Amino acid sequence: MANSKMYRSAPVLQVRDVVESAEFYREKLGFETSGFWGEPPCFCIVGRDTVTIFLDQSRDGGATPINQYWAAYVYVEDADALCDEYRAKGVEIVRGPADAPYGCRDFDVRDPDGHLVCFGQDLQPTPAGPGL
């Protein structure tokens, strides 16, 4: 069996209103919207730098699932600077920034659907990159 290189992954977050969620990620977290799909819109891709998140509207009308804790963990260059940027935009900072026992300095934000997204700075990155 041949090995195939993997490039990156994208968490898929189930949301109540894909347009509202995309606006939060764009206006508050600095992501760009790469497009909406469906009529009315039910799916959206947002991204910032090399990070991509898929927003998928709940199709059954039920409550959006909440992860045990984080829905996504995003590695960043400077956790404190990013946290300051988000605070200035009125983003709810749930925790941090703080140094964690796993070698990162990170903080958590809550999106409109209750998903916790963590933004973390790897304090001792390897040559392969943060988190590796």
Q: In the chain, where are the structural domains located?
A: 12-59+68-122
Res. 27: pLDDT tops 70: yes
Task: Using alpha carbons, list the distances in angstroms from residue 56 to 10, 43, 120, 124.
Answer: 12, 5, 24, 34
Question: Which stretches does DSSP call E strand in 26-78?
Answer: 32-37, 43-48, 51-57, 70-75
Task: Band the pLDDT of 52: cuts 50, 70, 90.
Answer: very high
Q: Which residue has the tokens 């988000």?
A: 86
pLDDT at 1: 61
Res. 51: pLDDT tops 80: yes
Global pTM reads: 0.88
Q: Using CA of residue 125, residue 126, residue 129, residue 132, what is the dihedral sign? A: negative
Mean residue pLDDT across the chain: 91
Distance CA 53, CA 48 (A): 9
Task: Using alpha carbons, list the distances in angstroms from residue 64 to 113, 115, 119, 120.
Answer: 7, 9, 21, 24
Domain spanning 12-59+68-122: which CATH class is it, in words?
alpha beta
**Between residues 111 and 7, the one the model is more confident about:** 111
> What is the per-residue pLDDT across 75-132, written as a single tens digit (0 to 9) for each?
999 999 999 999 999 999 999 999 999 999 999 999 999 999 999 999 998 887 777 7
* H or E stretch covering 24: helix 18-27
From 107, 122, 117, select the one nearest 70 (Cα to Cα). Answer: 117
Q: Are 55 and 7 in contact (CB under 8 A)?
A: no
